[in-house]
Amino acid sequence: MSPIPPRRGRPTALLAALCALATTLVLAPGTSARPAAAPARVAGASATGPWSFSGSGFGHGVGMSQYGALAQAKAGRSAAQILGSYYSGTTYDQVTDTQTIRVNIVRGRSSQTIAGTSRASGGGTLTVTAGSSTMRAAAGTAVSLRRSGSSVVASCSSCSPTSVTGSSVRVTWDESRTDLNLSGKRYRHAPFVVTPTPGASTIEGVLHLRLSDEYLDQVREVPWGWPAAALQAQAAAARAYALRKVVAGVRAQCACHVQDGVTDQVYGPVPVGSAATGWSAWRAAVAAGGSSTTGYVPRYGGQVIEALYSSSSGGHTVNNEDVWGGTPVPYLRGVPDSWSTTADNPRRAWTSSVTSAQLADAFDLPDVASLDLSERTSAGSVRYARATSASGTTRALRGDEMRRALGLSSAAIHRPTDRISGSYPPDLAVASARAVPLGADTVVIASMYEEDIAHLVMARPLAGALQAPLLLSGNARLTGATRRELDRRGSAIRRAYVVAGGPMVGSEVIRELRARGITVTRVGLNDKDYTSAAVVDLMARTGRISRAAVATSSATLEASAFSAVAGTRHEPIVWASAGGVGWRTLAALDRAGVGTVRMLGSARKVPPAVEDDLRAAGHNTQRFGASTSTEVAADLAHYFRRSYPGTRVVLARTSSGQTIDTVLAAGLGAPVLVVTTSAAWPTTGLVQRSPQWPEVTAFGSATRVGSGALSRVRDA
């Protein structure tokens, strides 16, 4: 879209005045006397939940992505290629895999009941040994295992003997005819060894298995119906993971090398019925390319790697030290992973909510007033999350710790973002106007030129109070964007208020609107004092006004940010000069019965003379007086947070000589935050303490709100 055309020549002052007076709301002077009040201060408040988290991926995100492997396999890549893409610099090699691996399937329980299940004639018998004593339990007979002092007791009322006791209990069976039944699950391979839990009054139950088939054949980390290459990649990663655990030795606390579950790898029971579908394909993947004594693994420098994996990344895997700290591992480097974000992955995008209490518990705080997620890994996931309580206490968790504490899918957390495209103000005005229902019968028209920004700011609360779209016009004609929006709305629009003097929006525009069958009223003149009064009078006709706001040309951005909520609160914005408030404005505020006037800016921007005039006229004042417009915009959003019904904040760009975007964005009915080439702390700090606004909208093209500013708020 082309840049804004230059302003056409202005008509003479006399002609302008005559044209304006023919259609302007006429004001009468008036005064009032009210006691002055001390200025109010903007107060902080603790954040309240629920807190909404959105992200992508599932799991810690280090190493291989299982759904990424699926996508690569579907694209025709081999297991070696899949593994090489996730484990940097590795080879795909055969190694011996006949080692015995101890797998804990009963972790820290007070007792456990087992039985033998027959799978062939004469099967089902269990042999239970403790020390030198042996007990045999017939098929289906329940055997109870429990702790007694430093020993384990196995008891069975119908067995002979009825119990055996020892420092451990060993259970065996004929694997060709019998399965071990444990809590309804069937296990085929013996032995099953039960030992006391060190330092506790519970027991551990461990299967001793041959790694190559008895263990790997029943690892259930991915659906067995996946393509062969994905299954082979998973089998190789599982084999490498298990081998590393065997080399590391038995862990005393669980009497095992690995546990059954997400702590290590999921080792399932014997699949039966429909659960057995695909089992042959998985067993074939485990054995693929190997021999009876070898299988494939990824290796780095000739050594079997620690083949970490998770369900999926958020589009980029994570360096190992970014999740757990420690020394960087050369083959666990984060890599781009668009494979994880295909439609096959049910967690390619997710949203979860937690209560304020849950969040506070996770960080061991009494409450959480703000949550800072800005410290990110090179993959874009949260490295550290920092929660701060209302009292100022801050506690930090690693991103993966927070994920697990809150039950989130991953630490690849980002606020959902969208962008309202456009770089031409009339187009942006139309985009904002689309928030107003098509049934609206009134439109507000203002000038499209930056030099007329004060009138546009004053027009915004009027449009909000009238529930009308706010559109822009040139001096001599309506813009094409405005015409198209009026065409879209059709005959529903019956009245237009033009908040501009004749030199800003000329008589040709008035005639064009009337030619559409629209009744036109010009509100105000070029003079800001006159226009302020006219807007107040008109808004007073539509409903009672108890509060208003005042700004100056130095506080345009602050006023623009406030205009996002001013219309719904029925609070007009009036204009003052550095020397004070015009008499027409004071008279209109008096006629409307305004009690409090909000001062939108610091004393440097809205000088004490303005406040003096308001107090002398009997108005209370409240100043939003932070030193920068960015801070004031954030303060206003927080102060009026209960006045916004939506779930998003809007980022609007400001630069030298370009402030119009902020007031146009205000039509979206969401808090408007001011950004420049980046997003400053007041903006990111506001979203960190505002769980009610989990979404971020960029107002305008990337040339107006850059991707850097949007990313900083998205990741704050």
Q: What is the pTM of this model?
A: 0.83
Q: Is 146 helix (H, G, I), strand (E, B) or coil?
A: strand
Compute how many other C-beta atoms are within 10 angstroms of the C-beta atom of residue 177. 16
Query: Measured in whole angstroms, how far is the alpha carbon of residue 587 from the centre of its chain?
Result: 48
> Do 645 and 669 form a contact (C-beta atoms < 8 A)?
yes
Spatial CA neighbour of 664 closest among 526, 564, 575 = 564
Phi-psi group of 549: left, alpha or beta (phi > 0 → left; psi -120 to 50 → alpha; rest → beta): beta
Cα-based distances in Å from 628 to 211, 579, 640, 651, 674? 65, 21, 18, 16, 10
Q: Is 426 helix (H, G, I), strand (E, B) or coil?
A: helix
Cα-based distances in Å from 433 to 1, 354, 476? 19, 34, 22
Query: What digits encode the pLDDT tens for the residues 560-581?
Result: 999 999 999 999 999 999 999 9
DSSP letter assigned to residue 122:
T
* Separation between Cα atoms, residue 34 and residue 532, nearest integer Å: 21
Instruction: Return the domain boundaries, the chain.
Output: 13-41+420-714, 111-201
* Separation between Cα atoms, residue 457 and residue 13, nearest integer Å: 24
* pLDDT at position 390: 94
Spatial CA neighbour of 454 closest among 585, 643, 569, 545 = 585
| Amino acid occupying residue 648 | R
* pLDDT at position 655: 77
* Separation between Cα atoms, residue 606 and residue 608, nearest integer Å: 7
Count the alpha carbons within 13 Å of 433 in the hemisphere toward its beta carbon.
29
Kindly give the pairing relationship between strand 442-447 and strand 470-473.
parallel
DSSP letter assigned to residue 99:
-
Q: Edge to edge, what strands does the sheet with 185-187 contain? A: 163-166, 151-155, 143-148, 111-118, 178-182, 185-187
* Separation between Cα atoms, residue 417 and residue 120, nearest integer Å: 60
* pLDDT averaged over 10-residue windows placed end to end, the chain, 716 residues: 33 33 34 32 54 95 98 98 98 97 97 96 96 96 96 96 97 97 96 97 98 96 97 98 98 97 94 92 96 96 97 96 96 97 96 95 96 95 96 96 96 95 94 96 97 97 96 96 97 97 96 97 96 97 95 96 95 97 97 97 97 97 95 95 93 83 95 91 93 94 92 94
